[in-house]
Structure 1
Amino acid sequence: MAVAVSDFCRRAKAMASPTEVREALALLSEDEDFRVRTLTDTEPEVSPLGPFAVVDILRGTQPSLAAQRQACGYYDVVQELTRVREEKTPVAPAPVVVPEVPTFAPPPPRPAPAGDGDGAGGAKADKAARRGTESVQERIAPRKRAASAEPEHEQEESLEAEPRFLRRELPKPRGRYTQVAAPKGSFQILTRAEGRDILDSAVAQSEHRFTLLKSLGEQYNGAKGELTMVDLESVLRRHELLETLAAKERQGILSAYADQRGAAGRVAWALGLSPSELQKLIGTLGLQQEAEEVRERFRREALGARHLTQRLDLLGRDKYLADLGIKKRFTDSLRKELEGLVRDELPGARDLPGLALAVARKHGAPQELVLRAIERLGLAGTLREQLNSDQSLP
């Protein structure tokens, strides 16, 4: 249907974009499809006629009037109004001002002059008399259109008589309007000599073989269908590029482990891999020992933090401690340490915030972190009971 309308508009000297054609066809119901084909199968009587002019003709407008509206831009206003009506109506909508559509009726014929000389002379005299009575400002000023004398109810009826443009859901584009992916190249291209340049450029732009597989899989097929990791590694090995890629992967993985302080989950996120893909890549490259050494270094650093503020801050990073596998050891060690610190300040404290403030001032840590650690380590209930019992004593 869209192809037929587009071809009809082309023959009517009003080329239309696919979007404009579909917006116009959305104004028609399914029952009117046969009328569209009846019109588009014939040759245009007048021109120009766009897709909205075709809809207007099907609604009963004369082709000559539709051509005039197409030439003066009437259907551009119609298209804009159609888009506005699709938007959500506000709670208190403002009155919509309907633009007045100019009519293009031919001017009435002038009365025949009584004589050639008298008619020409009389017209010139009338024109000169009018120019003599009008000033320059009055002649160049815009002409004000007289207010309509029709009653309000008649104006509403005339607006209701105008064709209503309501959209309907259309099927997905087909034919030449369908957007399809570009055809994939053959796997044999990558195995030839020119395939080395393609792979060399792709390796330089990829961080690891998984992104390389995704990039090349969108452009080339594999040996037996979709491009697989086995196909990719074989063709890289054929062009002696697999070692280059492996060296790049080793450096990237170890750098990511150092940047993320040994957290494997964040390493996988930084490299755009799933945890299983990261472990598979580490196993392929033989980096298990190096990665574990980096993780062990950060484990010792977390467990051996000297300043109390550092240890209290790590307590709020549950996922990081769980990733390193030291969450239980760390929390047990910090609980034991914090119990000794609050025991020393307990006699002079009146409430839990005051106790946290005393510990924080003595050890140079924020009060909020100390109070949060007391709550998270399960010490708050016992400390409140001890504070209440101390205050009850005479």
Structure 2
Amino acid sequence: MISPWQRRRQPDDVPTPVAVAVSDFCRRAKAPAPAQEVREALALLSEEEDFRVRSLTDGEPETSPLGPFALVDILRGVPPSLAAQRQTCGYYAVAQELAQVREEKTPPPAPVSTTPTFALPPTGAPAPADTDPKTGRRKSAKAEAAAVQERIAPRKRVTDEDTLDEAEPTAEQAAPAPSPEDEDAPRFVKRELPRPRGRFTRVEAQRLSFFELTRAEGKETLEAAIEATEHRYSLLRTLEHRYNGPRGELTQVDMENVLRQHGIMETLEAREKSNLQTAYASQRGAAGRVAWALGLSPSELQRLTHALRLEEEVEAMRERFRNEVLATSHLTHRLDMLGKDKYLADLGIQKRFTDSLRKELERLVKDAMPDATDLHSLANVVGRKHGAPAELVTRAFERLGLAESLRKQLSSQALPPSH
């Protein structure tokens, strides 16, 4: 049975118009995704389902956020509201990793032998296996084993390359006379196979001149490319495969100079600012998640923020989310946040948060200690009084290093008083 998160085709086989439509749909659904992620999601669908993808992306998103894997989930029958919840909680990141693991574990197809085989016509009644065809006498066991070994041994075929690599024989070396069996054996010449054609062909496209971008027609090309990308780094990766630079490879400086020449650099910057603000808001200030969502490295994200002069705005947004995390009063929310180590470390408040939560738990445990007999019952008492799951309370005891000391206090409390 094929899993719903198993590839039906390779990401490179996804048609580009379908991938572009899905990328635009995700952008309108407030969950922009890099091109590679879009293709990996569409690889989970077969070619026959591309028309369903186009019919969905031609309309407006019913809810948000919806990424490419959420779109695939909707096509499988999941309600858009549930897909948006899964997108928010990171469900599809696990689905993407599962699809990659399944692809790695899938064994490659067995290689097909290209050596032609031919069946020779029968020349007469076959002689018994233990009879010599020349003398008609029965062979000995040793001779019979040698004959079998000679029949099944591989025979090396001499090609033109082997002939060129070998040195020419000298006059003293006598060439062996061909045997009658070699003369009668069929000779085969390996036929040169045709080169791959159609969608199986992988040919590097010829790059156009840089001056094509500087002309008036180049402005329309650049505007269309800006609409399909999220930032200048993805725009450069798109253009460098199609155009050369004035002095070799197309660089970011060359691209930005052309954008300023056509007066559309401001359009790209406005798009980048909107994408950055949306990403930081949806990822709750986590710079690492923002970089992953936009397909940027941490250094590229830092340079882009500096180029757009958004350092103060981004830092203010991150400070707001820090204050929200530290000021959360609901115990369940605080216990759940304790398991998000990477997020707390990204915001730089992991130590402050754990110290604050440890002090709060020590205060709550002190009030609940007389009603408990062991660690499990203590977690139940604390959770029941403050509306938190006992499993989260027990996990917090372990992660904050309180479990051992609490066990000692409970055991000393259970001992009868000495007289």
TM range (shorter): 0.5 to 0.7
Aligned match of 1:302 = 325
Give a deviation string over 1:266-301, Cα, whole Å, max 9, x none. 000000101110000000000001111111111010
Match of 1:380 in 2: 403
Residue in structure 2 matching 1:234, options 254, 257, 264: 257
Number of corresponding residues: 244
- What pairs up with 1:207-356 in 2 under 5 angstroms? 207-356=230-379
Superposition deviation, residue 197 in structure 1:
1.2
Q: Distance in 2 between matches of 1:30 and 1:276?
A: 57
Taking the aligned partners of 1:284 and 1:264, their CA distance within structure 2 comes to 16
- Structure 2, unmatched stretches of 5+, are 1-111, 118-153, 164-183
Which string of whole-angstrom CA distances, capped at 9 and with x for unpartnered residues, describes residues 1-59 of structure 1? xxxxxxxxxxxxxxxxxxxxx96458899844349x9xxxxxxxxxxxxxxxxxxxx97
- Give how far 1:200 is off: 1.1
Whole-Å separation in 1 of the counterparts to 2:234 and 2:156: 46
Cα displacement (A) at 1:304: 0.5
Structure-2 separation of matches of 1:25 and 1:213:
46
1:14-33 equivalent positions in 2, closer than 5 A: 24=114, 31-33=157-159
* Offset of residue 60 of structure 1: 2.0
Residue 415 of structure 2 aligns to which amino acid in structure 1? S
CA displacement at 1:306 relative to structure 2: 1.5
Distance 1:373 1:220 in 2: 56
Residues 347 and 179 of structure 1, relative CA distance in 2, 3 Å threshold: closer
TM superposition shift of 1:183: 1.3
Report the residue type matching 1:304 in the other structure: A
Q: How does 1:55-70 map to 2 (within 5 A)?
A: 60=186
The one of 200, 206, 209 aligned to 2:223? 200
Aligned to 2:370, what secondary structure does the other structure show? coil
TM-score calculated relative to the size of structure 1? 0.58
Query: Take 1:345 and 1:178, find their aligned partners in 2: how far apart are those partners?
Result: 71
Higher Rg: 1
Answering whether residue 208 of structure 2 is matched by residue 185 of structure 1, we say yes
Structure 1 counterpart of 2:123? none
Residue by residue over 1:99-126, the C-alpha shift from the partner in whole angstroms, topping out at 9 and shown as x without a partner, is: xxxxxxxxxxxxxxxxxxxxxxxxxxxx
* C-alpha distance in structure 2 between counterparts of 1:353 and 1:391, whole Å: 15
CA distance in 1, matches of 2:155, 2:293: 52
Of the three residues 379, 382, 393, the one matched with 1:359 is: 382
What code does the residue aligned with 1:212 have?
Answer: L
Whole-angstrom distance in 2 between the partners of 1:29 and 1:278:
62
State how far apart, in whole Å, the 2-side matches of 1:316 and 1:328 are: 13
Partner amino acid, structure 1, of 2:321: F
SS in 1 for 2:224: helix
Aligned to 1:85: none
SS at 2:275 equivalent = helix
Change (3 A) 1:234 1:59: farther
CA 1:194–1:26: 2 relative to 1, 3 Å: farther
| Gap change, CA 1:179 and 1:313, over 3 Å in 2 | closer
Task: Summarize the Cα distance change of 1:378–1:59 in structure 2 as closer, same or farther, 3 Å threshold.
Answer: farther
Q: Return closer, same or farther for 1:34/1:61 CA change in 2, 3 Å cut-off.
A: closer
1:321 Cα deviation after fit: 0.4
Shift in Å, 1:180: 3.4
Aligned to 1:83: none
Moved more, 190-199 or 356-365: 190-199
Distance 1:59 1:381 in 2: 84
How many Å separate the matches in 2 of 1:346 and 1:211? 58
**Gaps in structure 1 of 5+ consecutive residues:** 1-21, 38-57, 63-166
Aligned to 2:144: none
Identity score, percent = 56
- Specify the SS of the correspondent of 1:347: helix
Q: C-alpha distance in 2, partners of 1:313/1:388? A: 28
Is the alpha carbon distance of 1:331 and 1:178 closer, same or farther for their aligned partners in structure 2, counting shifts above 3 Å? closer
- Tell me which amino acid in the other structure corresponds to 1:221: N
TM-score, with normalisation over the residues of structure 2? 0.54
Aligned-partner Cα distance in 2 for 1:241–1:234:
10
